[in-house]
Amino acid sequence: MISIIVPTYNERENLEELFKRISDALKDYEYEIIVVDDDSPDKTWEKAQELSKSYPVRVIRRTKEKGLSSAVIRGFKEAEGEIFVVMDADLQHPPEIIPKLLNALEKADIAIASRYVKGGKVENWYWWRKIISKGAIMIGRVALPKIRGIKDPVSGFFALRREVVENVNLNPVGFKILLEILIKGNYSKVVEVPFTFGLRFAGESKLGKKQIFNYLKHLYRLMRWEGEIDRFLKFAIVGTTGIFVNQFFLWLFVEKIFGKGASLDYLIANILATELAILNNFTWNDLWTFKDLRRAPLYKRLFNFHLAALTGAIVQWVIFIILLQFGIHYLIANLIGIGFSFVVRFLVNRHVTWG
């Protein structure tokens, strides 16, 4: 049995077409449709109840709670099927894709109807909407290494096995329930099925611009949950110890070993001190910051850590030079450069060295 969960808010005019197309698409399946409506002013719940005479529909009319994600979570709780499908009511998610998602589930735990795999697309979006959408996904993939391989982790159209979300504590605050599931759910394999995100059949969108900020807040919460923020802080602490190591050895080499005078001595002393700081940072990051992620062999981790340091240094210099052109004071320019270098080094190490 398949449970199709449809969150609704003012979708009255879409329901009949939606149910009709679902029933055509799922002729060979046993299924139920669960409409979770937040007491819509247009009485979507009433229309759904009316249509439940002709289609296998159950209606949940919520009067106290509100919100897209919490509606979907409520749907999970009510669902009786072994497989859950989540989709919008406005027909931007074509019901004809559902059988493809169900087929894909035979070899996976989660099947995502995806706009951004080969064969998928979005109809009638301005280029800037595409850029915002793809940019948002890119930020998510960088912030949350677990979803790095997924092209459309914020799709509102997906299918999953009951076990993926059963007994999982999903937080209903963000709009992107799939993202929440991909981070917290119990699963091993995800597949993406291409589809075309079309136009609304009737009514208008409820998700506005305030969503962007909300999305970033959601990402931050999931990063904390994943321990990625802790990692970032540990990386910062280790980096600070590196500054002291660097300064100490520079002093030691110049004062006690090479003697003062020739500028070449300073350069060599500086290179050696920098290398020792890099080794110091590597050691602590390997034993502490990323201790759970030691997968690549040691020599590779060491090599990539140096690569990250070099990348960071180049970023630092480039930003320094650019900011100088804008007339920014060189000490401030350097500080900003260091900030960027720091983030870049963290990301390269997180995704490559300990990726």
Q: Please, where are the H alpha helices in the chain?
A: 15-25, 44-51, 68-78, 98-104, 127-143, 162-165, 177-184, 210-226, 228-252, 263-284, 298-325, 330-348
Site for ligand GDD in 125-154 (CB under 6 A): 154
As a dihedral over the C-alpha atoms of residue 255, residue 258, residue 264, residue 269, rounded to 10 degrees, the angle is -70
- Min dist. Cβ of residue 92 to ligand GDD (A): 5
Q: Which of 2, 71, 319, 344 binds ligand GDD (CB under 6 A)?
A: 71
Closer by beta carbon to ligand GDD, 67 or else 239: 67
- Min dist. Cβ of residue 130 to Mn ion (A): 16
Look-up: residue for tokens 């930020």? 139
Site string for Mn ion, 103-122 (x = CB under 5 A): --------------------
353 lies in the binding site for Mn ion (CB under 5 A)? no
Counting every residue written for the chain, the total comes to 355
Residues 6+ apart with CB under 8 A from 252: none
Closer by beta carbon to Mn ion, 90 or else 228: 90
Closer by beta carbon to ligand GDD, 92 or else 281: 92
Q: Which stretch binds ligand GDD (CB under 6 A): 33-41, 247-255, 269-277, 284-292?
A: 33-41
Helix pair angle (177-184, 210-226), 10° resolution: 10
8 lies in the binding site for Mn ion (CB under 5 A)? no
DSSP one-letter code for 96: G
Closer by beta carbon to ligand GDD, 69 or else 281: 69
Q: What angle do CA 319, 324, 325 make, to 5 degrees?
A: 100
Residues that bind ligand GDD (CB under 6 A): 7-9, 11, 36-38, 66-68, 71, 88-90, 92, 154, 156, 175-176, 205-207
